[in-house]
Amino acid sequence: PEYMSPEQAEVKEVDQRSDIYSLGVILYEMMTGRIPFEGETPLGIAMKHKSEMPKDPRELNTQIPEDLSRVILTCMEKDREKRYQSAGEVRSELIRIEKGIPSTERIIPKRKPITSKEITVTFGLKKLFIPALVIIGLIIAVVIILQLLPQKETVPVPSYKHSIAVLPFDDLSPQKDQEYFCDGLAEELINRLNNIESLRVPARTSAFSFKGKELDLQEIGNKLNVEMLLEGSVQKAGNKLRITVRLVKVADGYPLWSEKYERDEKDIFALQDEISLAIVDNMRIKLLGREKANIVKRYTEDIEAYNLYLQGLFFWNRRTEEDLKKAINYFEQAIEVDHNYALAYAGLADSYSILPEYSNIPPKEVYPKAKELALKALEIDNTLAEAHVSLGLIKRRYDYDWVAAEREYKRALELNPGHAIAHYNYAYNLMCRAR
């Protein structure tokens, strides 16, 4: 967690800018002799990466050139849009700074000697700077980071046979009050398609990062590194739904398939099945038996409960204390309507689990409740990947049972191979255990 980016701490989709943040942490430690954030627990450190600004490195080592300090802090910007956007930018800055450094200055940080006698060693700045930044920094930045980045000249070897990103649907309703429904419909399709092992589906955080931005579909597709994009719109008036979907080929920007549906709201579950299977059919994906069953699986048959759940999910994704409390209220209402709505129990468990991160509420006041809810969700449906992830998070954060947490994450991935949050938490669990 010492080198974790803010987006990793928030369980968001990461890209090359997350690696650039980690590079900034390495440079910070190398130039100051200490890591920027310390804490008693991995979670505490991760939360500091998410919410606290690091000290200026020059406060810890006055010999650090101002330009170098600026580079380090730019790498460590909380907002990834404000960081360097590529390793090439970092490399250029480091080379420029290195060329302008006089060889007689000293940049090595002072460390407390490990022996009982004081030891002082003086290096010329060039002597330290060349191995430290040019060798270590550039090797890390160029060899590691650049290898992780997709290059314009080459096409990365795909890990999957097919790939698709589901973009947030546009709200065309007269009152513009169906954003929660539009987002929920798109997220539902993401979750369904994630069950297909041969299909890569970028997580909600990646696909939704383009929401409200005027970008060409091909540009979005290239940024997400997918072959297909699904976009759509929703117009809702009373109990009537008009939904338009369009499957677009990123390579040429032309639609592969499009359809308009006019249905009653009560038919939304059947409509989601129809859209999901149409996507699979038009992409010519061959489904395994269990994959088709998972794609059309329903967690409730009650429209009112489903609408309440979508509103809870909408506010949960906003991640503020006020919004999380709204999410809790909506999830509780969904459960009141449908007592066997396992997905709503899992959503409620997740809301309580992360509430202490966004409020002054002590974890001990909410974690027992979150654990009870996650277990209830699994009692109703032990094949629900979301509930296993919820329980895994509680096992790690509250019970400090890393082995049990790993077991839950692995089970979640068995049930839903594309579950992004399960992948992240499993990786984080392994990292913290030096595995």
Which CATH number goes with the domain that contains 238?
A: 3.40.50.10610
pLDDT at 15: 76
Task: Let me know whether 255 and 343 are in one domain.
Answer: no
Least confident of 153-167, 200-214, 302-316, 317-331: 153-167
Range of 65-74, 107-116, 199-208, 320-329 with top mean pLDDT: 320-329
42: confidence class by pLDDT, cuts 50, 70, 90: low
In this predicted structure, the answer to whether residue 225 has a pLDDT above a threshold of 50 is yes
In a domain, 1, yes or no: no
Task: Work out the number of other CB atoms within 10 angstroms of the CB of residue 404.
Answer: 15
- What would the two tokens of residue 238 be? 């009373």
Which of the listed residues 245, 279, 295 is the one where a domain comes to its end? Answer: 295
Task: Let me know whether 188 and 290 are in one domain.
Answer: yes
Task: Let me know whether 317 and 256 are in one domain.
Answer: no
pLDDT at 38: 80
Counted domains in the chain: 3
Q: What is the tens place of the pLDDT at every residue in 363-395?
A: 889 999 999 999 999 999 999 999 999 999 999
Task: Let me know whether 183 and 133 are in one domain.
Answer: no
Higher pLDDT, 51 or 310: 310
pLDDT at 398: 85
pLDDT at 9: 73
Question: What distances in angstroms separate CA 228 from CA 16, 151, 185, 200, 257, one per listed residue?
Answer: 22, 19, 18, 10, 11
In a domain, 131, yes or no: yes
In this predicted structure, the answer to whether residue 317 has a pLDDT above a threshold of 80 is yes
Which of the listed residues 115, 148, 181 is the one where a domain comes to its end? Answer: 148
Report the predicted TM-score, pTM, of the whole model to 2 decimal places.
0.65
Higher pLDDT, 21 or 42: 21
Average pLDDT over residues 333-362: 94
Long-range contacts, 102-106 (Cβ 8 Å, 24+): 102/126, 103/127, 105/63, 106/63
In a domain, 356, yes or no: yes
d(CA 420, CA 1): 19
In this predicted structure, the answer to whether residue 152 has a pLDDT above a threshold of 90 is no
Task: Let me know whether 34 and 70 are in one domain.
Answer: yes
Task: Let me know whether 105 and 231 are in one domain.
Answer: no
Task: Let me know whether 218 and 316 are in one domain.
Answer: no
Task: Let me know whether 286 and 314 are in one domain.
Answer: no
Task: Let me know whether 205 and 274 are in one domain.
Answer: yes
Average pLDDT over residues 313-335: 95
Which of the listed residues 268, 295, 322 is the one where a domain comes to its end? Answer: 295
Domain that holds residue 348: 303-432
- Work out the angle between the directed axes of helices 385-397 and 420-432 (0-180°, nearest 10): 30
In this predicted structure, the answer to whether residue 151 has a pLDDT above a threshold of 60 is no
Q: What is the tens place of the pLDDT at every residue in 246-302?
A: 999 999 989 999 999 999 999 999 999 999 999 999 999 988 878 888 899 999 999
Residue 206 near residue 163, CB atoms below 8 Å: no
Task: Let me know whether 119 and 207 are in one domain.
Answer: no
Question: What distances in angstroms separate CA 223 from CA 68, 191, 199, 229, one per listed residue?
Answer: 30, 21, 17, 12
